[in-house]
Structure formats: structure tokens, C-alpha cells
Chains A and B, each alone.
Chain A
Amino acid sequence: MQKHDLSYVRAELAAAEPAPAGVTGLGAWVRKNLFATPFDSALTLLGLLVVAFVIPPFINWAFISAQWTGTDRTFCSTIAQGGIQPDGWSGACWAFVNAKFSQFMFGRYPAEEHWRLILTVIMLVVLLVPMMIPRIPRKGLNAILLFGVFPIVAYILMSGGWFGLPHVETPLWGGLLVTLVLSFVGITVSLPLGIVLALGRRSKMPVVKMICVIFIEAVRGIPLVTVLFMASVMFPLFLPAGMTFDKLLRALIGVALFASAYMAEVVRGGLQAIPKGQYEGADSLGLSYWQKTGLIVLPQALKLVIPGIVNTFIGLFKDTSLVYIIGMFDLLGVVRLNFSDASWASPQTPISGLVFAGFVFWLFCFGMSRYSIYMERRLDTGHKR
């Protein structure tokens, strides 16, 4: 390089020009994301209209005009309807939810025994939270406690009859309690059963394969309502006279069998996605069928289908609300049952109860789906093809 010493040549770099005014800042963002084309502008205006029609009335209904406290229907009715609210009032009746809260949670479970349910929930949380956080060690022990010991302890605690605990019949159970019992048992039974069915469907033994295919396809082809009807009407016919099952147990069997058929198809998807080389590699190492399946194939297959498994769990959680149809009262069923409570009958009662129940269901399902996204990212080892 020659060295120039010319005064008209710059020795240092010029400072960067600021970006043109049109491409930065709020105005540019609005122009790019909301008003890029005339069609976009029209869409934005339409969207704003939708938002204006939905959000402010909802906030007004749910918070500003809502009736938070009260002892009976007069607090949630207008004067014309025989209540205390001004005519034309429209607001959520949270007083109804407030008054019925313990019923929504526990059904008709005796109030002086509620501590048993709360203790069970605490045990569940204590066992479930470390299970869900990947960093915490001793997953094996935790799993045994959660899926082996906890159900037994929880059953004894909730049902009673031992250790001086008064017995509480399952028809008294209700509300979120039944929803959670059905989903927990459904989830813990349907995953292993679904894996067994999926393995059976891919088995080389024709008889086993046929049985699994028939079961899976028959269950997937019919609505859960009919499965529950079967469990509640046909099951007693199948048993010898005098032998009866608890209604909750029958619903549990129906829900678990139903979910396991869907789970089987999800797991089968994962099994099919494992390259053949993995199976052959395991065979060449001399592993037995169960070693090959348990150590090589399933860990990879299940990881691939985590979103599908969680979706099935979410579906199961939502489907537990259908037990209302066979006369059991889960969260939604209890809410529905209370519409006919004369002391709370008002035009705002049903919608308030339903919005509350919807919010609870939404929290659980949304939580599960977020957790599945987190796990999917965490377990992603970059082998995605």
C-alpha cells in the first residue's frame, strides 16, 4: 500500500447514516404490519371492529359490572326479574361461583373431610412437580412413588374406610375432583396400554396383530359417548348376577380404554418413524425383543411423538366432561347441575358458571400444551429429519 497524505482523502470512516425515517420506529412497524396494502388496511379495520365488539363488553361484563358477592339470585337479577340490579344490567355473577366453589371443586364430598382431598392434591403436586422438572434427579424413584404408591395412598385417603377414616361413597365425589381422578387414571393407564397395543399392531404374530387392529379401529370409529354408555349399561350385563362395579370405576375403564386406542395410533406413528437400521442394529447386538423395544426403539419413538401424546392427554382431559352424560358430575356436570338451583336461577348464572368452568379447563389444557412444547425443545437432539 502506498501511503497518501492527501488532505482531501478521509482518514477515518464516516459515521453510519441513520436508517431512513420510513423503515424504523412505531410508524414503520404499523405501516408494515397493519397497513401494507389497501386489502391489509381493510383487514386491520375489520379486525379492530371485531376487537372493539368483543374485548370492552367482555371486560365490562366480567369485571366492571360483575357481581362479586351475594347470597342468592336477587344479587344477580335486575329489578324487573325480581333482583336488586338496575334494569338493563348485564354482568358476570361471580357470587354464584363463589357460593358454589366448594361444590365445583369437590362435589358433594362432606365438608369436614375436605382436608383429605387437599392433602391428596398436595401430595400430587409434591410428586408431580419434581417429575416435570428435568434437572431434578431420581426420576425412577419419583415415578414409582407417583404412579405406583401415590394412587394407592390417594385411593385410601379419598375413599376412606381404613385407619379410622370414614368411608365416602364415590357417588358423593364430584366437581374438579372427578375430572382430575378420571384424567390421572386415564393418563397413567392409557399410555402403557397404548404402547402395548401399538406394539401388538406391529407384531409379526397374526392373531395378536388382528386383535389389536380390531380393538383400535373399533374404538376409534365410535364416539366416547357410546363407549361410556357401554360401560354404564352393558358392563353390568357382562358380569355374573350380584357382582357390581362402582359407577366411577366403570367410567374410568371406559375412558382409559378409549384413550388407549388413540394413544396406540400415536405411538405407532413414532414406531414407524424409527429407521430400520435401529431395529437391525439391535438385532445384530443380540438383544432380545423386549431389550430391543425397551432400550432402543421405544425411547426414540416416544420422544418423536411427545406432541401427539400430550395432545391425546389434552383430549382425554377434555373428554372427561362427557361422563356428565352417564349421570356423573365432573366439574362441568356440577356447574350444569347448579343451573337448576332455584335459589340461584338468573339469566347470568349459566354463562358465569360456564365461563368459570371453561377457564379452569383452559388453564389445565393450555398448561399441558405449553409443557409439551418445552419438552419437545429440550429433548430435540437435532436428529430431526
Chain B
Amino acid sequence: MASQEILGRDAGSRVSLMNDPKIRGIFFQIVVVALLAAAIYWIVGNTVENLRRANIASGFSFLRGRAGFDISDSLIAYSSDSTYGRAIIVGLLNTIVVAVVGIITASILGFLIGIGRLSRNWLVRKISTVYVEVFRNIPPLLVIFFWYFGVLSVLPPPRDSYHLPFGSFLNGRGFYFPKAIWGEGSWLILVAFVLAIAMSWFVARKARQRQMATGQTFPILWTSIGLIVGLPLLAFIFSGFPLSFDFPKQSTFNLTGGFQVKPEFLALYLALSFYTAAFIGEIVRAGIMGVNKGQSEASFALGLRPAQTLRQVVVPQAMRIVIPPLTSQYLNLTKNSSLAIAIGYPDLVATGGTVLNQTGQAIEVVVIWMVVYLGLSLVTSAFMNWFNAKMALVER
């Protein structure tokens, strides 16, 4: 570029303004801005005119109106007398719940599949490959329909529920499992749990410092597990076993008690987990294959055991490759949870759609959607960037 500028300056008097890249750039940008402004002006004008004709007041005051529709799954208190705003919050919470549990399951399944594709075991390798090739090449909506219409809706009625271990049931109305009821003094357990996590973090820090200084290792993993399991257990015993279960009971037509997971949620959760796991499996495989073979060979040459090699040499380097695409898969899962609308699980898009149909406030509802999803994307990628910066190898 520098050479061009010099050329341009030398021949400044002879080159017309039209051929000066700088002038042309500015001119082009002015044209773009003008066109964009004109388009926006036209769109805004039409919109205002259309809204006036349809008698729709713009603005977010409609959120205080009475919703008048019921929502089947709600984490917070909600009835049809609640406001539109509350309905949308219910939807948002549902989106977050299904995204979080979906991400956890998909990660576990995906890591297993990814390792399975690199396994020495021929059968495991083939099963993992078939899984990935099947789920990568069909639409997520079809997977959701498959679980919802193909599997869950043909389950028997509550009368003939399947009995599963631990007093849980599975039938056409969903999955029922015993609900834990925490008695008095159970706060102690929570305190002990938080304390245990804090202590294991502290121990891990100290151990790493000691290892850096002296080279002596310390069994961090076992200590942490001992702390995190042991302390709450002690608190549990100390406070006199403050835990009872509310088992689901079978009556003639329905199951009462326990905790019910609706088939809509189950279908969405299973489909998103199974679908995303195939992609995560491929990412994990690429990550592990991306670590140079010399790294593990050098590690063996230094006398590290295979388990140590994997944990301290291969995985940290593979994570650097894995994390960025993994982030985008997590975001994809969150965005795909909007397919809930197709089977009637009340997530953000589904409740927002109902609000939109009732009030006609298209622009406001779409703005809420965009703000929420962009916000979730930004929060997830900020967290993953922080995690990525932590995992990245410090180079000289």
C-alpha cells in the first residue's frame, strides 16, 4: 500500500480525483451511508404508517398487560393473570434450563464419542463413527420430532407406566422421579459443600506452588474428591439426616407426587444433547489429533506414565484447539433450543410468539429476542474467552 501512496503523491497533479483511491474510498462510503439512510428512512416511514393503520401503539408498555394464557412449564410462579413481561421471563428461564442441562449432557456424550472415534478398539471406533455420521446429517428439528412423536408420545398411559429404578416412572406424560425434600438444618450441608469447594481450590493452588518450587507432587484430585464428598456428608450426619423423598405414587389414572419432567422438555433435551454431541465428538477428535505425536513421545521419553502424559501433556494442548469451536457449539445448542416452539415447549421464542400473536407487537418482541440471544451469546463467549485465556499455553 505504501508504494501506491508514494506513486499517487508523485503523480498528484496528473491523476484526476476520480482515480485517487483515498477520494474514491470516501466517496464510496458516503454513497453507502446515503443508501442505507434512505432505506432506513423508507422502512421506518412504512412501519410507522402500518402501525398507525393497525392501531398498534409502539413501545414496551404492553409488557405490563395481562397475559391471559397458561404456560405448562414454569420455574417461577405464573398464572394466566400474570403480565406479558412475566410470561417472557418464564420463557427465558426455560430456555436457560434446557440449554444448561443440554450443554452438560452433550459435552459428556461428545467427549465419549470423540475419544471413541480414536479408540484402539475397532468396534468402539465404528459405533462412534456411525453415530457421528448419522446425527451430523439430519436436521435437529427431525431429531426433536423423532423423540417427541416417535418415542415419547407412544409410551403407555400413566396406568401402565414403566417402573424404573429408584422409584421413578416413565410414561406418556413424562418422566417422574422422587423429589428430595430437605428438612431443617440442611443449610449446613450447603455451607459444607461451598466450604469444601473453596478448600479444594486452596489446596490445589498450594500444591501447584509447591510443585513449581520443589517438584514434589500432591494428590490433588483425591484430596478434592474427599473434601467435596466428605464434608457435606459429615454435615449431613451431624445435622441428623434432614432429607426425605417424595416418591411418585400410582393412582388409577395418574401419578401423584414426585417430580415430573414433561415429555416436551425431555424430547427437546434429548434431541439437542444427541445432536450436538455428534459435533462435539468431531471437535474433540480433531483436538486430540491436532497434538503433535512428538509431544507424547517426548513425554514418554521423560518417563511419564501414559495417564500422566494424557493429563499433563496431551489434554492441555488439545483443549487449546478444542475450546473455540466448542464455544460455538454451545451457542448453537442454545440457539437450537428455540426449536422448542415446534413441539410446544414454552421457551423464550414460543412464549414470545404467543405474546406477538396476541398483541401484534412484532418489533418489540423481535427486539427482546435479539437482545436476549445476543446477550446469551456474549456472556457465553466472554466466559469461554476467559477460560481459553487460562488454558492457553504461556509462550515465551
Contacts and interface: CB of A to CB of B under 8 A. Distances in A.
Given A205-B29, A365-B138, A234 B374 contact: no
B25 interface: yes
Given A225-B349, A365-B138, A237 B47 contact: yes
Contacts of B356: 229, 233
B374 A222 contact: yes
A33 B32 contact: no
B376 to A, nearest CB: 8
A222 B370 contact: yes
A319 B139 contact: yes
A205 B46 contact: no
A226 B341 CA distance: 11
Interface stretch (A16-24, A297-305, A355-363): A355-363
A258 to B, nearest CB: 11
Interface stretch (B66-74, B140-148, B207-215): B140-148
A355 B146 CA distance: 8
Contact of A33 (B36, B120, B137, B378): B120
B338 A223 contact: yes
15 contacts: A40-B120, A43-B123, A50-B127, A220-B377, A221-B377, A226-B349, A226-B366, A229-B353, A229-B369, A234-B366, A236-B50, A237-B47, A350-B150, A354-B145, A365-B136
B269 to A, nearest CB: 17
A51 interface: yes
A319 B124 CA distance: 30
Interface stretch (A113-121, A164-172, A320-328): A320-328
Contact of A43 (B124, B139, B146, B335): B124
Contacts of A185: none
B86 to A, nearest CB: 21
B150 A34 contact: no
Interface string A197-213: 00000001111100100
Interface string B196-231: 000000000000000000000000000000000000
B190 interface: no
Interface string B138-176: 111110011001110110000000000000000000000
B274 to A, nearest CB: 13
A162 B377 CA distance: 48
Given A43-B124, A234-B362, A322 B141 contact: yes
10 closest cross-chain pairs (CB), A and B: A351-B150, A365-B137, A350-B149, A33-B122, A223-B335, A318-B139, A223-B338, A47-B123, A321-B139, A207-B29
Interface in A167-204: 204
Given A211-B36, A234-B363, A350-B153, A332 B349 contact: no
A119 B49 CA distance: 45
A263 interface: no
B366 A230 contact: yes
B1 interface: yes
Interface residues of B, number: 57
Contact of A336 (B50, B145, B370): B145
- Chain A residues touching B, range: 35 or more
Given A222-B370, A226-B338, A347 B121 contact: no
A218 B36 CA distance: 17
Interface string B361-379: 0110010011001100110
Contacts of A354: 142, 145-146, 149-150
Interface stretch (A129-137, A150-158, A238-246, A374-382): A238-246
B304 interface: no
B180 interface: no
Contacts of B146: 351, 354, 358
A322 B136 CA distance: 16
A321 B142 contact: yes
B15 to A, nearest CB: 14
Given A211-B32, A221-B374, A233-B356, A332 B142 contact: yes
Nearest to B126: A47
A90 to B, nearest CB: 10
Interface string B10-51: 000000000000000100110011001000000100110111
A44 interface: yes
Contact of B28 (A205, A218, A237): A205
A95 interface: no
A284 B3 contact: yes
B297 interface: no
Given A40-B120, A47-B127, A223-B349, 12 more contacts: A218-B370, A229-B349, A230-B366, A233-B356, A283-B4, A324-B342, A325-B339, A332-B139, A332-B145, A350-B149, A350-B153, A354-B150
A371 interface: no
Contacts of B119: 43
A234 B360 CA distance: 10
A241 B53 contact: yes
A323 to B, nearest CB: 10
A43 B353 CA distance: 47
Nearest to A361: B138
B49 A241 contact: yes
B123 A233 contact: no
A303 B50 CA distance: 47
B50 A237 contact: yes
Interface string A303-342: 0000000000010001101101100000010001001000
B186 interface: no
Contacts of B29: 205-208
A230 B353 CA distance: 11
A34 B370 CA distance: 50
B239 interface: no
Contacts of B47: 237-238
B81 interface: no
B191 interface: no
A339 B150 CA distance: 11
